[in-house]
Each structure stands twice: as structure tokens, then as C-alpha cells.
Amino acid sequence: MDAMECLFTRRSIRMYKHDPIPEETLKEILAAAACAPSAVNMQHWYFVVIRTPEKMEEFRKVMREVKEKFHPVLVDRFQRHPETLQTETFFTSLGGAPVCVLAFFLKDNYPDRDGAMQSVSAALENLMLAAWAKGVGSCWIHRAKEVFDSEEGKELKKQWGVPEEYIGVGHCVLGYRDCEYPTAK
């Protein structure tokens, strides 16, 4: 797939097959994320890859808590489109994706927080485009603050070895899609 086709056809996928992503494919996807441009070349990112069923279930449990806290925001935001609240189901199931990549940035090593946030965001974009080029679907979930501000989220962050000074930017689920989406022309 060429770059333009990748850019025009990538979509957020919310239903995945349980098929694992091969190790080599996952490494290539992560390497592409690490090649993103970054503010003053600081490469502010820190990624955690979750891919065992047990760890994915731990993360889904935290996401269920996030859903409860985020529900009033969604109800308010989508008053005119209540069908959009199906997003909550995705929050709790992660669409059955076999992999989730958590993205963090180091808050203390660069005075421009926006630059650090944008750098990690660029890395997540690279990750999603590289995944799609390999036939792997993705969906970026940006509720990282709510996830890692919860007590269980803080404990998981500690278990996963994420240094305390890193702040969550978002997470991205990866997997082979189990649905069809129209492509842009």
C-alpha cells in the first residue's frame, strides 16, 4: 500500500478478531511510531504494549471505571445524537482487540508541555498509519488522564514499569478488523 492510499483509507476500527499480531509486525509498527517528528528531537514518548489476555482484561476493568466517570460528559456532548453513546461499549470492551499500546510523555524534560504532547500525538499517528499499511486496524482512545488518575490506573502504571514522571497521552488498540468500513475515494 502506498502512503496516499494508507492516508485515505485508514479508519478507526472498533471491532477486532482475536487473532494475535505477529511479533515482527508489532515491532515494525512500534519502530514507525518512534520515527515520528518530535519537538527539538526530544522524543518524549514512552510506550507500554499490552497483549496478554490477562493484562488486556486488567486494562478493560480500568476502562469500565472510566466509562462510568465519563458517561455524563458523553450524554451532554451527544444530546442531539444519543446513538453515539455506543462509544461506551467500545470503552469497556476495547472492541476485543488483542493489543493495546499506551502512550506517555515525560513531563519534566521539556518546558513546552504542548510540544511534548504534540510529539507523542505524532508518534501515535505514525503507529496507526504503519499498522494500517500492515493490514492491522487501530483506534486511538484519548481518555488517558482519566485512566491513569484512577487508583487502579496508577497501580497498573506502576506494575507496567512506567516511571512516575510520565503522563498518559492516550492509548491505541490494534488488531485485525472484524468489520467492514467504506473507504474514501
Least confident piece of the model among 16-20, 70-74, 94-98, 159-163: 70-74
* 173 Cα distance to chain centroid: 5
Q: Which has the closest alpha carbon to 123: 166, 172, 90?
A: 172
Lookup: cell for 29: 509498527
Determine the Cα–Cα distance for residues 25 and 74; give it in Å rounded to an integer: 35
Q: What are phi and psi of 96, to 5 degrees?
A: 75, 15
Mean pLDDT of 20-42: 95
Q: Is 70 exceeded by the pLDDT of residue 126?
A: yes
Q: Model's pTM, two decimal places?
A: 0.87
